[in-house]
Amino acid sequence: MRTKLIAGNWKMNLSRVESVTLAGEILHHTPAMTQAQVLLIPAFVHIDAVAQTIGKSHLLLGAQDVYFERSGAFTGEVSTEMLLELGVSHVLIGHSERRHVIGETDAMLNKKLLAATSEKLVGIYCVGETLQERNSGKAAEVILHQLQAGLANLSHDVIAQGHLVIAYEPVWAIGTGQTATPDHAQETHAFIRSRLAEIISPDLAEQIRIQYGGSVKKANAAELLAKPDIDGLLVGGASLIVEEFVGIIKAAELK
């Protein structure tokens, strides 16, 4: 039984006051969560304020990125230890905007995933094909490569402890309003799980949660979550709107 994980990636949005207000509203509207975990992922500079707002509630706190070195002359970067100090438990690694806008490589992402999981953070490793890759029939090849490169040398122990989550986010569906159909998402998730069985092990592949992300909203959350290999949702735009995000969380609670 894989507990659903609903995550809101706030990206580079919201002021400090807006972040605190949104976190407070989500807390207020989701009092008794039993079936799903809910993760808020604010901008780095607002993590502290959101941490104070949610306190020791059922809401979990995440970061949008992390650096792989522990400390030193890495201007602008943030370490795992700094995140842990703030109460962060989860970190996104390889979000498509980090891959395609910032230019992070598979080698860097692998180092980040190893650093995060070895410090007991849950690494949410994002994979997904671009529209061009999809149209040229290369989606499976691209995803397989991202999995092989990103998960290299990851210890089976950290995976068994639940410190690895995969997020399938087709780049063509992110922020475009074009969601993958539930059937298409399920097919890709099943493909990812079968590859995880080969790369890691069949037993661990059954335990790893695979989230879907890409234009998820209240209206389509339930049908996506009804699919057997969709273990949660990674939500961008709709996570900034209380009614939408709370609706998505409630869809997971009903599963």
Q: Say how far apart CA 24 and CA 245 lie, in whole Å.
A: 13
Can you tell me which of 235, 249, 251, 252 binds ligand PEP, judged by CB under 6 A?
Answer: 235
62 binds ligand PEP (CB under 6 A): no
The residue annotated as part of the active site, out of 90, 95, 163, 189, is 95
Of 180 and 200, the one with the shorter C-beta distance to ligand PEP is: 180
Hey, which residues between 7 and 46 contact ligand PEP (CB under 6 A)? Answer: 9
Residue 221, Cα to own-chain centre: how many angstroms? 15
* Binding residue count for ligand PEP, defined by CB under 6 A: 13
What minimum distance in Å lies between the beta carbon of 212 and ligand PEP?
Answer: 9
Active-site choice (97, 119, 129, 169): 169
x/- map, 151-190, ligand PEP, by CB under 6 A:
------------------x----xx---------------
* 27-31 long-range Cβ contacts below 8 angstroms, 24+ apart: 27/53, 27/54, 27/57, 27/59, 29/242, 29/246, 30/58, 30/59, 30/246, 30/249, 30/250
Rg of the chain taking only CA atoms, in angstroms: 17
Shortest spacing between CB 174 and ligand PEP, in angstroms = 4
Active site residue 95: yes
* Binding flag, residue 215, ligand PEP (CB under 6 A): yes
Two structure tokens written together for 69? 């070195």
Q: Which residue is listed with tokens 């990103």?
A: 150
- Binding residue for ligand PEP (CB under 6 A) from 236, 244, 248, 252? 236
Three-state SS across 96-136? Answer: HHHHHHHCCCHHHHHHHHHHHHHCCCEEEEEECCCHHHHHC
**Chain positions contacting ligand PEP, by CB under 6 A:** 9, 169, 174-175, 213-216, 234-238
